Amino acid sequence: MKAGVLAEFASAEGLLEALAVLRRNGYRRLESYTPYPVEGADDRLGLGRSRLPWFIFGGGVLGAILGYGIQWYADVWDYPQSIGGRPVHAVAAFIPATFEATVLGAALVAFFGLFVALRLPELWHPVFEIEGFERASVDRFWVGVDARDRRFDDRKVTGLLEGLHALRVVPIAEDV
């Protein structure tokens, strides 16, 4: 989210309660910033399952095919040699490198796929303007309501969050 209202909470329980209340009030475009993964937050944020694992699986399969293929190309097709009388197409000997290529393929897709999914790199974000927001990675729990939410109303949301004993409620905007 680039614009909307953020609220700071002192505990994960506070965050979970706030998310539940916001959902009950019909808000759907919610956001949270927490120092560690809070169990149960995913459901309340309305997050579906990520599709990234399927791409990672595909990356693994592709890596396996490429890994096996390059060995087959080199040892069977392009430059076959007899090594101690072993078969040229030595399946067992091809497995370790194929395994490594599988892991490499999956890991590359996971790493760069995550960057794409998170829209990284992003050098500046409106939340950076909030004084003390960095404690979201230490001991504070932040809940955000996106301004693009259909029901978004600056004053209503602020009032609702203040009623939930937020430590403070801060509006953010894309253009500072």
- How many residues belong to the site for other proteins (CB under 8 A)? 16
Q: Shortest Cβ distance from residue 96 to other proteins (Å)? A: 7
175's CB contacts (< 8 A; 6+ apart) are none
- HSE at residue 106, side-chain half, CA atoms within 13 A, is 13
Phi, psi (deg, nearest 5) at residue 90: -95, 90
Q: Sketch the per residue contact string, 81 through 110, with other proteins: x for CB under 8 A, - otherwise.
A: ---x-x-----xx-xx--------------
- Among the listed ranges 9-17, 62-70, 107-115, 167-175, the one in contact with other proteins (CB under 8 A) is 9-17
Query: Can you tell me the distance from the alpha carbon of 173 to that of 163, in angstroms, rounded to the nearest whole number?
Result: 22
Residue 162 beta carbon to other proteins: minimum distance, rounded to whole angstroms: 23
Using N-to-C axis directions, what is the helix angle for 52-72 and 91-117, rounded to 10°?
A: 150
Given 42, 46, 47, 57, the residue binding other proteins (CB under 8 A): 57
165 binds other proteins (CB under 8 A): no
Please, which residue, 37 or 121, has the CB nearer to other proteins?
37
Determine, following the binding rule CB under 8 A, whether residue 39 of this chain makes contact with other proteins: yes
How many whole angstroms separate alpha carbon 103 and alpha carbon 169? 45
Number of H helices, E strands in the chain: 5, 4
Q: Does 35 bind other proteins (CB under 8 A)?
A: no
Least distance in angstroms from the C-beta of 61 to other proteins: 11
Q: How far apart are CA 21 and CA 43, in angstroms?
A: 13
| Of 124, 155, 158, the residue nearest 143 (C-alpha) | 158
User: 113-152 mask for other proteins (x: CB under 8 A)?
Assistant: ----------------------------------------
Residue ranges in contact with other proteins by CB under 8 A: 12-13, 16, 36-40, 49, 57, 84, 86, 92-93, 95-96
